[in-house]
Amino acid sequence: MGILIEENYINKTEGHRIGDSGIYETWCETIGELFLAMQREYGRCVSKVYIGEGTQIGWVFEKRQKYQDCNETYLQETWITLHNSKPKRIVEYDYLELKS
Does residue 2 carry a pLDDT above 90? no
Instruction: Note the pLDDT of residue 98.
Output: 92
pLDDT band at 1 (very low <50, low <70, confident <90, very high): confident
Question: The whole model's pTM is what?
Answer: 0.84
Q: Is 79 helix (H, G, I), strand (E, B) or coil?
A: strand
If we measure between CA atoms, which residue out of 98, 17, 9, 19 comes closest to residue 62?
9
pLDDT digits (tens, 9 = 90+) for 39-79: 999 999 999 999 999 999 999 999 999 999 999 999 999 99
For residue 81, the model assigns a pLDDT of 97
Domain coordinates in residue numbering, the chain: 4-83
Percentage of the chain with pLDDT > 70? 100
Helix (H) or strand (E) holding 45: strand 44-51
